[in-house]
Amino acid sequence: MATSSQHGAHHDAHHDGTLTLSDGARLGYTQYPAPRPGAPRLVLIHSLALDRSVWDEVVLALRTDAEMLTVDCRGHGRSERKAADFTAELFARDLAELLDHVRWGRAAIAGCSMGGCVALAFGGLYPASTSALGLIDTTAWYGDDAPAKFRERAEAARAKGMQGMIDFQVTRWFSDEFRASHPDVLKHTGEVFMDNDFDCYAASCALLGDADLRRFLPTLRMPVAIVVGEEDYATPVEMARRLHDAIPKSTLTVLPKARHLTPIERPDAIVDVLRDLLKR
């Protein structure tokens, strides 16, 4: 059942909804109202094993610029946690059904890490519905050894428990400086990570290992903004450069001293890039 909640008197009500998809899975999302008639529309997609709260700071800053949707990918957050054969293309189809449901014809689609793979797949499969793409801390392809590597990661999580993976994760996600100065953010992000369903986590790891979206890159005709943290070793700067080289109308921004989750570590910079993208 969809509900609306109020964030204090000065903040417009946002709408938390649940959509039942064509295959019966349930998708949780939040819709933030248009700040004015004709405002641009923006969809934000989170990274592996996290949820739509990745975007909290970005949404807070952009709510006067755009009408927004944040979504929990299937298997994550408050969406249905039923593992299946997850693919970037399936998650893109889920998003297409969500856009139909909220009656958005077109929107800018931005995603972080796994969300970036989903955004890429969406832009490739549904170009008429994509006004712009934001590809943040992501890649079209993790390499030949990725299917094995990502499955190993899932097995490690099964063996050690999500709790046993958390130290590895937070050092990948955030720079040393950020970790030292933001214990509250580490605590929240860690809790979301540890709350994952194992089978859904494994299916999502397989999604990333198997993803090869390179065929879409030369076909993308919409404006594309690519962002990466300088110290990102999950999707290094080199991967972002390859995206930039392959996508005709793309810009590349490298954020100094940041690691893999720039929407959380550097929301100010992500907001600047997305504002610029919405204008393009």
pLDDT of 25-60, one tens digit each? 999 999 999 999 999 999 999 999 999 999 999 999
Mapped onto helix, strand or coil, the DSSP state of residue 138 is: coil
pLDDT, tens digit (0-9, with 9 covering 90-100), for 70-85: 999 999 999 999 999 9
Give the burial string for 132-167 (b: 16+ CB within 10 Å, else e).
bbbbbbbbbbbeeebbeebeebbeebeeeebeebbe
Q: For tokens 């248009």, what's the residue?
A: 34
pLDDT, tens digit (0-9, with 9 covering 90-100), for 174-224: 999 999 999 999 999 999 999 999 999 999 999 999 999 999 999 999 999
Burial of 279 (0-12, 13-18, 19+ CB in 10 A): exposed
Both structure tokens of 245: 């080289």
> Hey, what domains does the chain have and what are their CATH numbers?
14-141+212-279 (3.40.50.1820)
Report the pLDDT averaged over residues 122-149. Answer: 98
Sequence-distant (6+) residues with CB within 8 A of 238 are none
